[in-house]
Structure formats: C-alpha cells, structure tokens
Amino acid sequence: MPPIKWAERLCQSGVYEDLALYMFQAGTPWTRFYMRTGLNAVNGWGPTVAEDLVYREEVIPINYRRQTEAFSVEGSLGTFDVIRWNGSCVTLDVGEVTKKQPPAPRNSRVEWKELSEEMQDALRKGSEVESVYQARRKECKGASIGRVTDKCESLDKKLPDVIASYVRRTSDLPEPTEHP
C-alpha cells in the first residue's frame, strides 16, 4: 500500500481520475481487491463520487485501519480506504472485499471529460478505445446532457469498460500531474 499520510491526503482532498488509471495499469505493485457485493459509495474522510460500488468491482486498497477497543463494531476486523477506477476513495469493511480475482472484474465509470488531455491522448493509443471514442463522438455530436440517441447512450456506457480493458493491458500511461 502507499504511504499512510499520502493515502489520507488522497481521500481527504478530492477525486483523482488520472491517478486512478495510472495506479490500475498493468505492472503496478498495488494489490487489487474485488467487491463481494454491491454497496453505497461512502468515503469516511472526504469527497467521493456518488456511484454505487458493484459486485466484482476492482479497487485498490490504499490504507488499512485496524479496529480499536475505543471504537469497535461487532464482527468487523477493520476498514480499508480504497481508490476506485473513477479516482474516488471509499471506505470498506474488510469483509466486503476479497483478493480472489473474478473471471470478469468490473470497474466504476471513468468519465472521459474528467481525464487530462495527456491521459486521453495516451488512452487513444489503444485501437479499441480510439474506435469507441470516435464512434461516440460522431453519434453523440458533443451532447453530454439532454436528449441523445440510444446508440449514443450505448457508446457512452461502453467507453469506460473499453478504457478499463486497455488500462489492464498497458503499462505506458503518463504519470499524473495532479495528486495529493
């Protein structure tokens, strides 16, 4: 896990989309956990993205808090602060995650417009990312709210999964400039 003080600053200060992708790329030393169930996203220390965690979602633990006698919850062995694919932190009970990788790990939604231009350019080197990005751009015609076609919605939902698939295979993403 990263240094504790760094992890605390990360979870207290904001959402770091580029950093998350950089940490999830192939070959990084971070342990991966997978959700045993779906849950509401709650960060015990600061801001988060209001997107529920889903069964089999892949997360990276960045901090562990052992249960103390001063404050204890029966049946809990402690909590983890984790970073999600969308760059947000959430706090999870030890029993809510497993190290056993499922056949098809899932990911939280990566918002293209929240990524830096440098990260977008790096992701577009993946032919499938570029293909879906261009198809989405053509179909959605720049619209991000309001009435859009079913095909636009479909491509908008597909892009984060294609990004995650590419990131899991590459080790060539740029180091993020924004981090705690």
Q: For the segment 40-82, what is each residue's pLDDT rounded down to a tens digit? A: 888 877 777 889 999 999 999 998 876 554 444 444 568 889 9
Structure tokens at 53: 């965690």
Confidence of residue 173 (pLDDT cuts 50, 70, 90): very high
CB 83 within 8 A of CB 89: yes
Report helix, strand or coil for 51. Answer: coil
Listed by start position, the domains of the chain span 4-98, 112-169
Whole-model pTM: value is 0.87
Q: Which CATH number fits domain 4-98: 1.10.275, 2.60.120, 1.10.10, 2.30.30?
A: 2.30.30
The least confident of 8-12, 14-18, 67-71, 133-137 is 67-71
Task: Give the bridge partners for 97, in sequence order.
Answer: 35
CB 1 within 8 A of CB 90: no
Given a cut of 90, whether residue 132 has pLDDT beyond it is yes
Q: How far apart are CA 30 and CA 46, in angstroms?
A: 22
CA–CA distance from 7 to each of 65, 168, 178 (Å)? 12, 22, 14
Q: Is the dihedral of CA 23, 170, 119, 123 positive or negative?
A: negative
Q: What's the confidence (pLDDT) of residue 49?
A: 84
Which residues lie below 8 Å from residue 31, measured CB to CB, with a gap of 6+?
1, 60, 61, 99
Given a cut of 60, whether residue 38 has pLDDT beyond it is yes
Structure tokens at 178: 């924004």
Give percent of the chain with pLDDT exceeding 70.
91
